[in-house]
């Protein structure tokens, strides 16, 4: 009897993929809530809004992904979003319509879509299911749709304990 310990998981050829690796850095994100520009929390006054935008330090958004949204129960005219976008576009890395959570999901899905599928060709892939950060369900959907055409199999969980999702026949 041999005393050699064999790591069967390492020898299995399973590729582990952690979706947390695709999350954007929090320091690269910013948001603008148009409720902060509302008069009495109800209406947007054009002159005051333009003055406020002109006096803003737009450099704080330099290179960042910025989510633009309105958390107040107020109707914001379309031109207001356009005006903020006109200020943001020269400095921000990207501008997205939505709050920070929606922006984070958008960037996560973009990173998954940009992932080259070729390295996973005919591989057994485990999509990590546990971690420090909650991964939205749409990310699991996106990675499955990305890898299904090329992977030999897709599993969810950890290499030592997986839930089968797809297996090429």
| DSSP states along 126-166 | EEE---SSPPPHHHHHHHHHHHTTT-SEEEEEETTEEEEEE
User: For residue 1, what pLDDT is reported?
Assistant: 55
Alpha-carbon gap, residue 60 to 139, rounded angstroms: 29
Confidence of residue 4 (pLDDT cuts 50, 70, 90): low
User: For residue 135, what pLDDT is reported?
Assistant: 94
Task: Kindly tell me the sign of the dihedral angle through the C-alpha atoms of 159, 165, 166, 167.
Answer: positive
Confidence of residue 5 (pLDDT cuts 50, 70, 90): low
Q: Is 83 helix (H, G, I), strand (E, B) or coil?
A: helix
Per residue in 89-108, pLDDT tens? 999 999 999 999 999 999 99
Joined tokens for residue 104: 């984070």
DSSP assigned state of 39: B
Tell me the whole-structure pTM to 2 decimals: 0.84
Per residue in 60-100, pLDDT tens? 999 999 999 999 999 999 999 999 999 999 999 999 999 99
* Per-residue pLDDT at 138 exceeds 70: yes
User: For residue 2, what pLDDT is reported?
Assistant: 61
């Amino acid at each position: 009897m041999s005393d050699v310990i064999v790591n069967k998981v390492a020898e299995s050829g399973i590729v582990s993929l952690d979706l947390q690796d695709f999350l954007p850095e929090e320091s690269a994100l910013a948001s603008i809530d148009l409720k902060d520009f509302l008069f009495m929390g109800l209406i947007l006054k054009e002159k005051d809004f333009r003055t406020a935008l002109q006096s803003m330090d737009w450099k704080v958004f330099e290179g960042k992904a910025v989510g633009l949204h309105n958390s107040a129960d107020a109707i914001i005219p379309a031109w207001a979003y356009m005006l903020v976008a006109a200020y943001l576009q020269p400095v921000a890395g990207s501008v997205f319509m939505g709050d920070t959570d929606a922006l984070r999901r958008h960037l996560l899905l973009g990173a998954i879509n940009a992932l080259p599928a070729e390295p996973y060709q005919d591989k057994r892939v485990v999509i990590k299911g546990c971690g420090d950060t909650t991964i939205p369900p749409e990310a699991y959907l996106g990675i499955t749709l990305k890898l299904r055409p090329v992977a030999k199999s897709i599993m969810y969980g950890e290499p030592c304990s997986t839930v089968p999702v797809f297996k090429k026949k």
